[in-house]
Amino acid sequence: MHLLITAGGTREYIDPVRFISNASSGKMGYALTGAAQKAGHKVTLISASDLQPAVGVEFVGVDSAAEMFKAVKKFFPKCDCLIMAAAVSDYAPVKHSKAKIKRSGKSLTLKLKPTADILKWAGEQKKVKSKKGKGKRGKRQIVVGFALEDKKLRERAEKKLQEKNLDMIIANTPSAIGAERSTVQIKMPDSRWSKIEKVSKTTIARRIIVEVERIATKRSGR
């Protein structure tokens, strides 16, 4: 399969040196990339992280949510599965100053606008990829999302799974940010919740790739 994976926290610039962002390290997206490679899959990594990509990965570096959306739109039609592990900013400054904003001693009001919902777009756009050759059935693209919630974890994650037309949701809490070991919960539309407790991101990544492979195999009728 060809997997499209996003990683890192986007940066929404206020001026040339200041930006709003989040605490995402990008480690989960990079762990997924490594697991997918080891499983024999082709990977395109769209990253807003400062981490170095592995050898053999098609790498696309981005900064902002808008840049990530542009890259996803470019590569999504060619992939079999999109895993949106990136922490994309929900808001960006309405205006971006071309020059560094000088200190004045006065209050500064920052007006924000919502960014594009990349995951929702992908859920709406996923289609059946046709196979070459007479009588060959196509496979519908797989879209996987993450839900970081501090309250009502399963309830909010399942709502995201349904509303954004996803094939899998991975739910976790803010304690997972930057942690070497964390707990996640996984659900597909036709399955119960599955919980993986206090394991490395590498272990979580391997499990997610296995679940993606199961979905793909089921759809191929093998």
pLDDT for 222: 60
Q: Kindly give the interhelix angle for 65-75 and 118-125, rounded to the nearest 10 degrees.
A: 20
For the chain, the domains span: 2-91+111-220
Residue 153 CB partners (closer than 8 Å, separation 6+):
147, 171, 172, 173, 185
- 2-91+111-220 to CATH, choices 3.60.20.10, 3.40.50.10860, 3.40.50.10300, 3.40.50.720: 3.40.50.10300
pTM score over 0.85: yes
Tens digit of each residue's pLDDT (9 = 90 or more) over 90-143: 999 999 999 999 988 889 999 999 999 999 999 999 987 655 544 444 578 999
List, for the chain, all residue ranges whose pLDDT scores fall below the cut of 50: 133-137
Task: Please name which of 4, 9, 1 lies closest in space to residue 115, comparing C-alpha atoms.
Answer: 9
Q: Kindly give the interhelix angle for 27-38 and 201-220, rounded to the nearest 10 degrees.
A: 50
Are 220 and 139 in contact by the 8 Å Cβ rule? The answer is yes
pLDDT for 171: 97
pLDDT for 219: 83
Q: Is 22 a catalytic residue?
A: yes
User: Among residues 13, 19, 21, 22, which one is catalytic?
Assistant: 22
Task: Please provide residue 50's backbone torsions phi and psi, each rounded to the nearest 5 degrees.
Answer: -85, 0
